[in-house]
Amino acid sequence: MAKSRRVLITGATAGIGKEAAFQLARRGYEVILHGRNAEKAALVKAEVQARHPNAKLDILIADLESKADTIKLVDTFYQRYDALDVLINNAGGVMNKVRQETVDGLERTIVLNVLAPFICSALLMPALQRGTDAKIINTSSMAHIMGKPNLDNLMYETKFNAHRAYGDAKLYVILLGVEFARRQQLIGDTNPIGMYAFHPGVIASDFAKNSTSLYHHFFRLFRPFLSSVERGADTMVYLATQNNDALQNGGYYVRRKARKARLPTKTLDAAAQLWERCESLTGIRFGVESR
């Protein structure tokens, strides 16, 4: 019997992350569910197990707004496993109108949507390198078109705007994929790990429910007209289950198709600078040497 593929999904206790867990478990994947709340994660695990009794499931608990907690999540992974086939960086969200900082003194939107995925991806690279046709999938958004990146003000010490910060964050995860693919091409990797970003659509989920931004009011008012979580998770699951050679490394996907994202004019320069800022802010270098 072929070994089942192993996937770690952050933000797997609600919305498209939870739906992807159901769909990948149905396909025979070994699914590791990440959540912030242990009780809620246990309930989701029980739901998945009830629907798919033979599924291999596990839970990792961490607050991804904390660098120490994010590193602890990775350390716990390595205590239990050596290899990973798919990492889905799905946890994220839009914050309140007023700028807020994490326990590490960094702006929350960028930490949760950009730096936490960067840390997870960097530290889990050795596990991914031991995986089969391994890949990293980052949840982006059409909101990236609102991004106006200013890497000199990455933490929004001045002129904070919740919608702008969210748009920037979703643009940044696309740029990280561009830089990741470029670096792999430079070293001539003949079996590269893939990194992909995708837009799930405008989904009727709990997204932004705790935010005081306009996103919260939009999702509350228009919820009956929004897409289902099943449709929202479709491209995520598609990317997870396709062979890397059928996908565009560093690509941005919408409804299973690679699309042209709205990127800065000097895309490669911006992507390289962002990468360096992420390494500087986290203190973590991306690659095997980061472990």
**Which of helix, strand or coil describes residue 101?**
strand
The active-site residue out of 166, 172, 196, 253 is: 166
Radius of gyration from C-alpha coordinates of the chain: 18
Residue 71's Cα: distance from chain center in Å? Answer: 15
Positions of E strands within 234-286? 252-254, 257-259
* H or E stretch at 215: helix 214-222
Q: Can you tell me which residue has the tokens 């999702």?
A: 219
Distance from C-alpha of 91 to C-alpha of 148, rounded to nearest angstrom: 22
Active site residue 166: yes
> Is the CA virtual torsion 257, 222, 210, 212 positive or negative?
positive
User: Computed from CA positions of residues 132, 138, 139, 141, in that sequence, does the dihedral angle turn out positive or negative?
Assistant: negative
C-alpha distances in Å from residue 126, one per residue of 78, 81, 83, 129: 10, 11, 8, 5
91 close to 10: Cβ distance less than 8 angstroms: yes
Nearest to 90 by CA among 143, 17, 162: 17
**Positions marked catalytic:** 166
